[in-house]
Amino acid sequence: TFDNLVEVVGSVHHPTDMSGGPFPVIVLLHGRHSAMYNPGTNATSNSWPPSGSFIGIPSYDGYDFLASHLASHGYIVISVSANAISASDNGDSFGDYGMQARGELIQHHLDLWNGWNTSDATGPFGTDFVGKLDLTNVGTLGHSRGGEGVITHALHNEDLGRPYGVNAVFTLAPVDFNRPIVTGIP
């Protein structure tokens, strides 16, 4: 649970030929950094939400090279934005440095994709992804605070009765603020 409004934004890469499937899913989560910038001055800020001439930094696009490569090998890759969390996770009221919020953000994205995977033609993709995601075969990758965030997500998913089959958790140079431990998932 997070006090601020959190954006639900990301990028999606998928196999060129979507006639097969369902395809395994990989969720990517970036680390902490400035949340927005002014394109006219290149000034950055760690405030949220963007206002005036500031816009959100699309950090989720930073994994495009990896996401494209993984998609070419038959994965649907979803890279999510966590700027609102990064902008607020150092305050005294967030003793866990926003890790639970990051875990819940990933779960929220998977919940949305579950709807778009089943029949929700009202979503942003129409019926393009209906039946295309294998949500029993999910992997996550996070860098820095995103690294601890994907661990927190795996534990959160377990607490919810494992609605998604998180079968792999990869932490890339993770922080270890809260020292969560995932067992039983490579």
Sheet of strand 36-37, all strands in order from the earlier edge strand to the far edge: 44-45, 36-37, 55-56
Question: What is the model's pLDDT at position 119?
Answer: 80
Question: What is the model's pLDDT at position 40?
Answer: 96
Q: What is the pLDDT of residues 73-83, one digit of tens each?
A: 999 999 999 99
DSSP state of 59: G
Mean pLDDT, range 105-122, rounded to an integer: 91
Average pLDDT score over the chain: 93
3-state helix/strand/coil string of 61-78: HHHHHHHHHHHHCCCEEE
| Tokens standing for residue 79 | 């890279």
Interhelix angle 99-118/145-159, rounded to 10 degrees, is: 60
The three-state secondary structure class of 123 is: coil
- Taking the C-alpha atoms of residue 102 and residue 79, their distance in angstroms, rounded to an integer, is 13
Question: What is the model's pLDDT at position 95?
Answer: 79
16 versus 96: the higher-pLDDT residue is: 16
Q: What is the pLDDT of residues 26-58, one digit of tens each?
A: 999 999 989 999 999 999 998 899 999 999 999
Centroid of chain to Cα 157: 14
Which range among 74-83, 90-99, 112-121 has the greatest average pLDDT?
A: 74-83
Q: What is the pLDDT of residues 135-146, one digit of tens each?
A: 999 999 999 999
Instruction: Say what the pTM is.
Output: 0.94
Residues 6+ apart with CB under 8 A from 156: 100, 103, 104, 107
Centroid of chain to Cα 177: 19
